[in-house]
Amino acid sequence: MTTRLVSRARIGAVSVLALLLAGCGIRATEVPTNFGPAPSRVRCSLAEPDVSTQAARGLPVQVFLLCGSSLVTVDRTVRVPDGAADSERRMLVAQGLLDQLAEPPSPAEKEAGYSTDVRGGIKVSGPRPGDPEDTLRLSTAPDSLTSYALAQIVCTFSDSAAAEGDGSVVLGGPGAGPPRRWECTDEVRARPGSKEPPSKDVPGE
């Protein structure tokens, strides 16, 4: 008799527990589960920036960082003095973009999976005699950059005030070689490690 009462008490307790779990929206299971801690942040996703604060610090721009196997845009700012001439403004924006690309990602960006392959110390200058007027000359030859870094620079420049805004940018190196027009395509943004930005010769002046 005692054993039968204990068994009935256990069954009743299990039934009550099942009802409590169902009431909480949790389905009871006989298999123990352990999914570990919930992720703290969705990968390649950042909170919306405060645009008004950015505008107070400088000119709002976007740069392309690496996340996973693709390029993603991140909001940044660059400082451009008021009253700068158009040619000077282009150089200041271009140098500011390069500096931002070389800046280590913030802790929040690192947590979200962002990184950069652009190294610091790259300088940008304007066209040489014979170059197209929209040429940007880098202190490091574009061909010597990693495919990731080249994709970051090309896509960042081509979508900024440093270029003509047509999805391409004319880049040259420090040597005497002629510059080339590099294009940022969907394939480059999706696979910067295996798809180098397409380029072509540009006529000189």
100-119: pLDDT as tens digits: 999 999 999 999 999 999 99
| Residues sharing a CB contact under 8 Å with residue 105, sequence separation 6 or more, in sequence order | 65, 114, 115, 116
**28 is a domain residue:** no
**124 is a domain residue:** yes
Does residue 38 surpass a pLDDT of 70? no
**115 is a domain residue:** yes
**107 is a domain residue:** yes
Reported residue count of the chain is: 205
Q: CB of 155 within 8 A of CB of 64? A: yes
Residue with tokens 């969907």: 186
Per-residue model confidence (pLDDT) at position 166? 81
Collapsed DSSP state (helix, strand, coil) of residue 200:
strand
Say how many domains are in the chain.
1
Work out the pLDDT band at 125, boundaries 50, 70, 90. Answer: very high
**179 is a domain residue:** yes
Return the top range by mean pLDDT from 20-29, 35-44, 47-56, 173-182.
173-182
**66 is a domain residue:** yes
Query: What average pLDDT does range 73-84 have in this prediction?
Result: 86
Considering only residues 143 and 14, tell me which one the structure prediction assigns the higher pLDDT. Answer: 143
**37 is a domain residue:** no
The two structure tokens encoding residue 107: 């802790």
Residue 114: give the domain boundaries: 58-199
100-139 CB burial, b ≥16 within 10 A, e <16: bbbeebeeebeebbbebbbeeebebeebeeebeebbbbbe
The two structure tokens encoding residue 13: 């307790």
The whole model's pTM is what?
0.75
**31 is a domain residue:** no
Per-residue model confidence (pLDDT) at position 170? 96
Name the region of 159 (left: φ>0; alpha: ψ -120 to 50; beta: rest).
Answer: alpha
